[in-house]
Chains A and B, each alone.
Chain A
Amino acid sequence: MKEILKNLNKAFENKVRLGIMSALIVNDYLDFNTLKDLLDVTDGNLASHLKSLEKSGYIKVSKEFIGRKPNTKYSVCDEGKVAFKKHIKAIEKLLH
């Protein structure tokens, strides 16, 4: 039991962060507004959760310009993929 609990990742306990990771893992990348629509959260809320995932090294951010508008794209890093899979495995073990 302790072993399983160790594998549960604190970073994914929050609903918004869990949502961000789920969406990014099945897409090559998503921009800020798409994520906002998918998750139905405010700009500030989404931005702070994205920041924390970026700090943990789970997602990467790339900024581009479409015309003059900045467009921020988010994608999941290898490290994020591994961590997320581990987290899901831990949940599944816990429920079995």
Chain B
Amino acid sequence: MDKQKYIEDLKDIKQMMNRSSRFISLSGLSGISAGIFAIIGAYLAYQTIYADQNYLIYRQAILSFENLSTLLIIALSTLVLSIGSGIYFTTRKAKRNKQKLWDSQTKTLLINLLIPLATGGILCLTLLLKGFIGIIAPLTLIFYGLALVNASKYTLEEIRSLGIVEILLGLLGIYFIGYGLIIWTIGFGILHIVYGIIMHLKYGS
């Protein structure tokens, strides 16, 4: 009996099941770059909020109208740069593996990612306008985590655990409300870099 042929067959079956139902071109490098941009963004935001304050006394988050527009610019640039670099590295990986980037799997993945993400985004913008600042950073983590868990069925399996950790961090951030920005930096910065490295080593780029 030719066992080798059947070992090959099983491998082919598994590979075809993954390739036809999951978006597997997601590049680890996009996680690493998104993490780096998040850390830079958080640092700039920190500088803006706590500008000109004495380090020795209790510091207060100051939000004037000017501050707010600077923060929005920082947030928007971080978002655009992260998504842009993510698309760049993922397109590159798809091309190298000769896989289509825009197919039905990509669409399913994006729709499932965007439903919780857009909900969270709109909620956070509303809270920002109403003046509930402190709760926003942890809430972005929670909704991002929910979006990842929801989309993980359609892409690499590691995304699910990344999502769960983001949710837990977000909940912690709600409780320790004063550490919102630090926890945000861990969630969007350090976690992305760690997961990016793991995925880069496991799946290549």
Identify the A interface with B (CB < 8 A).
Answer: 15, 18-19, 22-23, 25-27, 30, 34, 37-38, 88, 91-92, 94-95
Tell which of B7, B9, B10, B17 touches A26, judged by Cβ atoms closer than 8 Å.
B17
Question: Is there an interface contact between B12 and A18, defined as CB atoms closer than 8 Å?
Answer: yes
Question: Is there an interface contact between B16 and A23, defined as CB atoms closer than 8 Å?
Answer: yes
Question: Is there an interface contact between A38 and B16, defined as CB atoms closer than 8 Å?
Answer: yes
Q: Is B3 an interface residue (CB 8 A)?
A: yes
Known: A26-B17, A27-B20. A34 touches B103 (CB 8 A): yes
State the CA gap A25–B14 with chains docked (Å).
11
Question: Is there an interface contact between B12 and A19, defined as CB atoms closer than 8 Å?
Answer: yes
A68 to chain B, nearest CB (A): 21
Name B98-117 residues within 8 Å CB distance of A.
Answer: 100, 103-104
Q: Which B residue sits closest to A88, measured CB to CB?
A: B13
Instruction: Pick the most buried of A15, A30, A91: most chain B CB atoms within 10 A of its CB.
Output: A91
Q: Is B58 an interface residue (CB 8 A)?
A: no
B80 to chain A, nearest CB (A): 31
Q: Which A residue sits closest to B108, measured CB to CB?
A: A27
B1 to chain A, nearest CB (A): 7
Contacts of B70 in A (CB 8 A): none
State the CA gap A27–B16 with chains docked (Å).
11
Identify the B interface with A (CB < 8 A).
Answer: 1, 3, 6-7, 9-10, 12-14, 16-17, 19-21, 100, 103-104
Question: Is there an interface contact between A25 and B103, defined as CB atoms closer than 8 Å?
Answer: no
Q: Offer 12 A-B interface pairs, CB within 8 angstroms, sorted by A.
A: A18-B9, A19-B16, A22-B16, A25-B17, A26-B20, A27-B21, A38-B16, A88-B10, A91-B9, A92-B10, A94-B6, A95-B6
B152 to chain A, nearest CB (A): 15
State the CA gap A26–B13 with chains docked (Å).
11
Contacts of A19 in B (CB 8 A): 12, 16
Question: Is there an interface contact between A22 and B12, defined as CB atoms closer than 8 Å?
Answer: yes
Question: A38-B16, A94-B6 are known contacts; what are 9 more A-B pairs with Cβ within 8 Å?
Answer: A18-B12, A22-B12, A22-B17, A23-B20, A25-B17, A34-B104, A38-B19, A88-B13, A95-B7
**6 closest cross-chain pairs (CB), A and B:** A22-B16, A23-B20, A26-B21, A22-B13, A26-B17, A91-B6
State the CA gap A92–B104 with chains docked (Å).
31
Question: Is there an interface contact between A38 and B20, defined as CB atoms closer than 8 Å?
Answer: yes
B186 to chain A, nearest CB (A): 35
Q: Which B residue sits closest to A91, measured CB to CB?
A: B6
Contacts of B17 in A (CB 8 A): 22-23, 25-26
Known: A94-B6, A95-B3. A37 touches B100 (CB 8 A): yes
Q: Which A residue sits closest to B103, measured CB to CB?
A: A34
Question: Is there an interface contact between B1 and A94, defined as CB atoms closer than 8 Å?
Answer: yes
